[in-house]
Structure 1
Amino acid sequence: MTYCVGIRLNAGLVFLSDSRTNAGVDAISTFRKMMVYEKPGDRFLTLLSAGNLSISQSVREILQVEKLPNGDGEPITIWNATSMFDAARVLGSAVRRVYEQDGPALRAAGVDFNCSMIFGGQIGDEATRLFLVYSAGNFIEATRETCFFQIGESKYGKPILDRVLTPTTPLAEAAKCALVSMDSTIKSNLSVGLPLDLLVYESGRLQSDKVIVIDDQNPYFQMIHSTWGQRLREVFEGIDDPCWDSREVDHPLMAQSERYEPMRKIVRPEDRIV
Structure 2
Amino acid sequence: MTYCVALRLDRGLIFMSDTRTNAGIDNISRFRKMFTWEVPGERVITILTAGNLATTQAVISLLEERMKAPEERNPSIMAADTMFQVARLVGDTLKEVIRTQGNDGPDAEAKFGATLIVGGQIAGMEPRLFMVYPEGNFIEASDETPFFQIGETKYGRPILLRAFRPDMTFEEAVKLLYVSFDSTLKANLSVGMPLDLQTLEEGSFQVGQSRRINEDDPYFLTVSSRWGDALKLAFDSLPDYEF
TM-score (structure 2 length as normaliser) = 0.93
Which structure has more RCO (C-alpha within 8 Å, separation ≥ 6)?
Answer: 2
**Aligned position for 1:227:** 226
For 2:173, the equivalent position in structure 1 comes to 174
Instruction: Report the CA distance shift for 1:23/1:106 in structure 2 as closer, same or farther (over 3 A).
Output: farther
User: Which position in structure 2 is the counterpart of 1:102?
Assistant: 101
- SS for the counterpart of 2:192 is coil
- Name the larger-Rg structure: 1
Partner residue, 1:51: 51
Structure 1 SS opposite 2:111: coil
The letter of the residue matching 1:49 is T
Q: Is the 8 A contact 1:175 1:200 kept in 2?
A: no
Q: Is the 8 A contact 1:48 1:117 kept in 2?
A: yes
1:230 aligns to what SS in structure 2?
Answer: helix
8 Å contact kept, 1:160–1:180:
yes
Change (3 A) 1:243 1:155: same
**Residues 1:241 and 2:226 aligned together:** no
Deviations 1:46-65 (A, max 9, x none): 10000000000000111124
Partner of 1:33: 33
Letter in 1 for 2:235: F
Residue of structure 2 equivalent to 1:8: 8
Change beyond 3 A, Cα 1:31–1:105: farther
For residues 206-235 of structure 1, give each alpha carbon's deviation from its aligned partner in whole angstroms, at most 9, with x where no partner exists: 012400101111111111111111111111
Amino acid at match of 2:5: V
- Shift, 1:75, TM fit: 6.1
Partner of 1:70: none
Give the ranges of 4+ consecutive aligned residues of structure 1 lying more than 4 Å apart after TM superposition.
105-111
Q: What letter is aligned with 2:33?
A: K
Amino acid in the other structure paired with 1:63? L
Contact 1:106 1:113 in 2 (8 A): no
Partner of 1:261: none
Secondary structure, aligned partner of 1:149: strand
The answer to whether structure 1 residue 125 and structure 2 residue 124 are counterparts is yes
- Deviation string, structure 1 residues 78-114 (Cα, Å, up to 9, x no partner): 1111110011111011112212321205868686231
Please tell me whether residue 60 in structure 1 is matched to residue 64 in structure 2: no
How far apart are the structure 1 equivalents of 2:63 and 2:234? Answer: 46
**Does residue 82 in structure 1 map to residue 81 in structure 2?**
yes
How many aligned residue pairs are there?
Answer: 238
SS at match of 2:25: coil
- CA distance in 1 between counterparts of 2:163 and 2:107 reads 45
Q: TM-score w.r.t. structure 1 length?
A: 0.83
AA aligned to 1:83 is T
* RMSD of aligned Cα (Å): 1.8
The structure in which a higher percent of residues are helix is 2
For 1:110 and 1:80, the matched residues in 2 are separated by: 30
Secondary structure (helix, strand or coil) at the match of 2:36 reads strand
Output one character per residue of 1:165-215: Cα deviation in whole Å (capped at 9) or x when no partner.
132222221121111100000000000000000111111100124001011
Give, as a single letter, the amino acid of the residue that structure 2 aligns with 1:123: I
1:63, 1:167 → 2: CA distance?
31
- Structure 1 runs not aligned, ≥5 long: 68-73, 245-274
- 1:95-154 superposed Cα distances (whole Å, 9 cap, x missing partner): 122123212058686862310000101011210000000001110000011100000000
Whether the 8 Å CA contact 1:129–1:142 is kept in 2: the answer is yes
